């Protein structure tokens, strides 16, 4: 099932803030609606943000009244700016917007043809993501053995992508191969993507899943209840993987216990011109930490730190699972040259 | 301010499940009420559980109609059994109950005199805890420098003890010495003792505190925003410290970043006849993880693991702060012989 689709000039997706209790379909018709959905995490997950940005530009193209190419290019540029101001960390959004802008700028046809081109390119980005995830799943499944218990953090599933998922794609592929695996999902505070989305996806698909709080990762490692970790990524730079807050702690604990730590991500997540120090870590509003379901948990006025992502240096990562193959720690340099 | 007090045959304390939004005074009159309060975490924190158990037996003694010593001893034994069935991990509860039972059994006076003895001994246990915490604070403050940023997990404060706190006692003492320190408090899922109690206590006392989710400990270490960790303990055995779930991850992350990791605990927390493998880790109900403020966060029927404590091997602990002094890693053997 596709998490995001283009249907007659409208982008169809599901409001992920309402899951798993309600399945509310979003019909997004404008770039501002798309930006709002991204900012408020109705649409989230690095690869999905790439497709969402692409479809955002497709909305601009589709509904534009521009009859001159230059005018349309300006409108697309403005829309890209709006998209890029939503969330700074996941690179896929920037990657998709820039890919479409570059293609549009190079195009020699007229305005009407350019509109079609943008819509087709957005569709291609979505299709490529779906395909990449299947390949990631197939490649990653080779790392998974019958009987494995796999820990995952946040949601790198179908809902974080156009289809199938990255980290959960690996788990799905292994499960489909008949490997009897189990998953431990961290709830992923503050926004509970693990509890709300990952546990829900896996349960729905019949894959055994046990939910824990983020604070229990050390315990399950100590008790040897986990023998592999697979997570997704929001941005992979030269020296680190940037992913949902809490990932770094999982990586350090996995290393301490000799548990392999795998990162599954498609090419749209790679940003190998940059290093960890160049990445802006999104700082979100304090009420995500001090409140829960609109109820305060801490005393009023409590100071808060709320980074949405953290940085895991490559030395903690056993292998990266990519649509083109598995790249082990010792081959990261080679890999960097191939992307 | 005392967290727990004996007043004319009633135990006065505050319902910690209601903090920080409401301050509800509990007036506990029977052993069953005390057991209910402990089970449901209205009264919590290892040293406070010692005093609560002691006062629980004092309630039995005070309200007993027994006029024969043997009858009273039987009643005290039954009450101790009820107390010991509430929560298995914090050793202070067992320590206090056994101390009073042993004292009662050795006593040669009559039933009325024994009732007084039990009440006096319970009061002594509470007084000793208050005094121990002041000493822990004084000893631990030597480890704290002006400008330190100290991370603490869960609540080892005034509310976890009879008075002053263990880990927060160290912080309070350093602050009182005029050291300009800051505290980072983890929210401590699933029951948010950090958000609800630690942030509240420190804010009330004017000590700067920043709240983070448990998943952010790796980030604040990576960013070098923390230079010391101080936590309490629920039980210290020969080879490990048993404390609130999430402590082990903090310890591993602190070690990985060369950040000293200190455990502050009074003698009632030590159980040096046992090893980590002998300790029962309390497993609490799944709804603590799947729900929040009675609202479900995960899909119905999601499997859950909910250990309330974890185990940190001694090798991760830089020093133990005790009322009798500071014991560094290299001296743990010596220390074990002194207790």
* Test mutation, B153, B185, B213, B313, chain A, max A CBs within 10 A: B213
pLDDT (0 to 100) of residue B336: 63
CB A308 within 8 A of CB A245: yes
Q: What is the helix (H) or strand (E) element at residue B162, kind and residue range?
A: none
pLDDT (0 to 100) of residue B219: 98
- DSSP, res B198: I
Q: Is the pLDDT reported for residue B339 higher than 60?
A: no
pLDDT digits (tens, 9 = 90+) for A215-251: 999 999 999 999 999 999 999 999 999 999 999 999 9
Question: What value does the mean pLDDT take over residues A124-151?
Answer: 98
Give chain B positions within 8 Å (CB) of A298: 20, 187, 195-196, 199-200, 211
pLDDT digits (tens, 9 = 90+) for B185-217: 999 999 999 999 999 999 999 999 999 999 999
pLDDT (0 to 100) of residue B294: 77
The model's confidence at residue A337, banded by pLDDT at 50, 70 and 90, is: low
pTM above 0.90, yes or no: yes
pLDDT digits (tens, 9 = 90+) for A295-310: 898 988 999 999 999 9
Note whether B187 contacts A298, CB cutoff 8 Å: yes
pLDDT (0 to 100) of residue B22: 95
Give phi and psi for A271, each to the nearest 5: -140, 70
Q: What is the helix (H) or strand (E) element at residue B258, kind and residue range?
A: none
Q: What is the 3-state secondary structure (H, E, C) of B287-311?
A: HHHHEECCEECCCCCCEECCECEEE
Note whether A203 contacts B297, CB cutoff 8 Å: no
Domain spans of chain B? 4-134, 143-337
Q: Is the pLDDT reported for residue A83 higher than 90?
A: yes
| Strand order across the beta sheet in which A209-212 lies | A325-328, A319-322, A261-264, A228-231, A149-152, A182-186, A209-212, B303-304
Q: Is the pLDDT reported for residue A130 higher than 80?
A: yes
Q: Is the pLDDT reported for residue A172 higher than 80?
A: yes
Q: Which fold has domain A143-337?
A: Rossmann fold (3.40.50)
In sequence order, the 6+-apart residues with CB closer than 8 A to the CB of B197 are: B16, B19, B20, B155, B157, B159, B160
pLDDT (0 to 100) of residue B292: 80
Percentage of residues in chain A having pLDDT higher than 90 = 94
Active-site option among B234, B271, B310, B331: B234
CB A253 within 8 A of CB B228: no
Question: What value does the mean pLDDT take over residues A121-127?
Answer: 98
Residue A26, token pair as written in the block: 């979003």
Q: Does A99 touch chain B (CB under 8 A)?
A: no
Note whether B213 contacts A189, CB cutoff 8 Å: yes
Q: Is the pLDDT reported for residue A335 higher than 70?
A: no
CATH number of B4-134: 1.20.120.420
The model's confidence at residue B337, banded by pLDDT at 50, 70 and 90, is: low
Residue B310: half-sphere exposure toward Cβ, Cα within 13 Å: 27
């Amino acid at each position: 099932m596709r998490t995001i689709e283009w249907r007659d000039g409208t982008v169809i997706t599901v409001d992920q803030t309402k899951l798993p209790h309600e399945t509310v379909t979003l019909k997004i018709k404008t770039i501002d609606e798309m930006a709002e959905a991204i900012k408020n995490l109705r649409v989230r997950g690095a690869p999905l943000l790439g497709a969402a940005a692409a479809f955002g530009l497709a909305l601009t193209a589709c509904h534009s009244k521009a009859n001159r190419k230059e005018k349309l290019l300006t409108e697309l540029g403005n829309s890209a700016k709006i998209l890029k101001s939503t969330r700074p960390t996941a690179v896929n959004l920037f990657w998709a917007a820039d890919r479409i802008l570059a293609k549009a700028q190079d195009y020699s046809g007229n305005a009407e043809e350019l509109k079609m081109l943008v819509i087709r390119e957005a569709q291609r980005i979505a299709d490529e993501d779906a395909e990449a995830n299947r390949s990631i799943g197939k490649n990653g499944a080779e790392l998974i053995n019958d009987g494995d218990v796999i820990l995952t953090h946040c949601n790198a599933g179908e809902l974080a992508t156009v289809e199938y998922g990255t980290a959960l794609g690996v788990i799905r592929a292994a499960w489909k191969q008949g490997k009897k695996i189990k998953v431990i999902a961290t709830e992923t505070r503050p926004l509970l993507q693990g509890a709300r989305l990952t546990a829900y996806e896996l349960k729905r698909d019949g894959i055994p899943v046990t939910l824990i709080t983020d604070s229990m990762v050390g315990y399950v490692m100590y008790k040897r209840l986990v023998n592999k970790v697979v997570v997704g990524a929001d941005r992979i730079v030269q020296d680190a993987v940037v992913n949902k807050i809490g990932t770094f702690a999982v990586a350090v604990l996995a290393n301490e216990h000799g548990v392999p730590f795998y990162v599954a991500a498609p090419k749209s997540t790679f940003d190998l011109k940059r290093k960890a120090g160049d990445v802006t870590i999104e700082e979100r509003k304090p009420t995500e930490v001090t409140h829960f379901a609109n109820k305060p948990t801490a005393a009023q006025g409590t100071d808060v730190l709320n980074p949405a992502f953290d940085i895991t240096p490559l030395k903690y990562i056993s292998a990266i699972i990519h649509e083109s193959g598995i790249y082990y720690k010792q081959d990261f340099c080679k890999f960097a040259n191939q992307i």
